[in-house]
Amino acid sequence: MVKLRLSEEEYAVLSAAAERERLANGAFAAQAALAAARGTARPEYALLRESLIAVMHSAGQARRIGINFNQAVAALHSGELSDQLRWYAEVSARTVGKLDDLAEEIRARLP
């Protein structure tokens, strides 16, 4: 036997989801908990999860590019960046920001 304590808001969310699936609250909670424990996500979220993994990988790659920019700047030993290096650094920073925003949006849509 497992007992859950939920806030009123959490209970309302759980109840609405159970109703959509035409299950009792306990049956829905049990199915969801077992699916999570087994690592078997609901099929409709599989593509979204794969997308999130790809975005997170891309964000990591972009961060590594940023590290390379920092090393290049340190190697210049001057107070100014070349125009080309500055442009690449700005584009990289914007790209990482967009990837982070997209990853958060995907994460928020997952159960």
Output the six-digit token pair for 50. Answer: 């794969």
Q: Are residues 54 and 25 in the same domain?
A: no
Q: What whole-number distance in Å separates Cα of residue 74 and Cα of residue 70?
A: 6
Q: Are residues 85 and 103 in the same domain?
A: yes
Q: Are residues 75 and 49 in the same domain?
A: yes
pLDDT tens digits along 41-95: 665 566 677 777 888 888 888 888 878 777 777 767 666 666 667 777 787 788 8
Q: Are residues 77 and 54 in the same domain?
A: yes
At residue 35, the pLDDT reads 83
Mean per-residue pLDDT for 21-40?
85
Q: Are residues 21 and 59 in the same domain?
A: no
Task: Report which secondary-structure segment, H or E, holds 66.
Answer: helix 46-76
Q: How far is CA 82 from CA 66, 86, 90, in A?
A: 16, 6, 12
Considering its fold, how many domains does the chain have in total?
Answer: 2
Would you say 94 and 102 are in contact if contact means Cβ atoms under 8 Å apart?
no
Q: Are residues 49 and 86 in the same domain?
A: yes
At residue 45, the pLDDT reads 65
Q: Is the pTM of this model over 0.75?
A: no
At residue 111, the pLDDT reads 64
Q: Are residues 47 and 34 in the same domain?
A: no
Domain holding 62, by residue range, is: 43-109
Q: Are residues 13 and 67 in the same domain?
A: no
CA 45-25-34 angle, 5° bins? 50
Q: Does residue 69 fall inside a structural domain?
A: yes
Q: Does residue 2 fall inside a structural domain?
A: no
29, HSE (Cβ side, Cα atoms, 13 Å) = 15
At residue 42, the pLDDT reads 63
Q: Are residues 76 and 95 in the same domain?
A: yes
At residue 9, the pLDDT reads 93
